[in-house]
Structure 1
Amino acid sequence: MKTKSLRHSFVKYIPETLEDGVLYISIDYCTAAHKCVCGCGNKVITPITPTDWELTFNGEAITLSPSIGNWSFDCQSHYWVKNSEIQWAGKWSRYEIDEGRRNDQIKKQIHFSKVDNLADVSAENEKNITRQGHSQGFWRKLFQRFGF
């Protein structure tokens, strides 16, 4: 039987056995899980990360974005969770699924290359600050020694 809405439950750990109609959310582990809303019984895991899903909680209802496409399940269900309600999306073709997966990979590569670049820039800035600090210390000591 199809689920029409999901009740949220904030937990530390995702339980082994999931109840129908409940979206379990672990803030500690940045993960949400629920049973597939089509009724097939499969466990759906949605990592909450900058490159996977975004979870919004307004104090009453939850929203997951983007849509959930269960392409690895026999049901291949596709739906949105908006304000705790299930909104069914259209079935995707094999081409659309492959393109969606390819786009997800590209987004991850772009995101992580930016993170790596930020780390590289930060390390380079730290080296520059250290170099400047040493050279300023050297000149300061030299000026002090000769009374300038």
Structure 2
Amino acid sequence: MTPPDTLRPVFTETFPPTMDAGVLYISIPYRTCGHLCCCGCGHEVVTPLSPAQWSLTYDGENVSLTPSIGNWSLPCQSHYWIRNGRVRWSRRYSVAEIDQNRERDRRLLGQDTENPRPGPLVRLLSRLPYRRQ
């Protein structure tokens, strides 16, 4: 599989049984994004949207995810950013840096669980016009 250099957003309630390369699936109801690893290895990558994990920015055409995607548990250990729909490669992390990053993530997730608040995706969508049907 050829690694994509861009990801096209597709808003869906649930992810398809088989994801397509070059697509970032976004589930608002489940506050989750999913895509195939951008290195081309074919592994599925899931990014939960929450203040302690990833946040999504959608400009009406392209998406960005923050922070970077570090696939430390995959054999490829790829590391990249998704910025305005484009894949931006980052440097490889050492084993020590991966361990530090995982510890920080656990700490942030624990803080978020203790003090829940609306996530960045909810705040973004709350600014959009809403039509009740």
Per the TM superposition, whether the score is higher than 0.5 is yes
Shift of 1:112: 2.4
Q: Distance in 1 between matches of 2:65 and 2:115?
A: 24
Aligned partner of 2:36 in structure 1 is 35
Aligned partner of 1:45 in structure 2 is 46
Deviations 1:70-116 (A, max 9, x none): 0011100000000000000000010000000000111122222334x
Shift of 1:16: 1.2
The unaligned stretches of length 5 or more in structure 2 are 117-133
Q: Distance in 1 between matches of 2:73 and 2:102?
A: 12
Q: Secondary structure at the match of 2:101?
A: helix
Q: Secondary structure at the match of 2:20?
A: coil
Q: Distance in 2 between matches of 1:36 and 1:51?
A: 21
Letter in 1 for 2:79: H
- How many percent identity over aligned positions? 44
Aligned partner of 2:24 in structure 1 is 23
**TM-score, with structure 1 as normaliser:** 0.75
Aligned partner of 2:62 in structure 1 is 61
**TM-score, with structure 2 as normaliser:** 0.83
Q: Distance in 1 between matches of 2:115 and 2:82?
A: 29
Letter in 2 for 1:26: S
Larger % of helix: which? Answer: 1
For the pair 1:86 / 2:87, whether they are aligned, the reply is: yes
Shift of 1:67: 0.2
Higher normalized contact order (CA 8 Å, seq sep 6+, divided by chain length): 2
The unaligned stretches of length 5 or more in structure 1 are 116-148
Letter in 1 for 2:77: Q
Higher CA-based Rg:
1
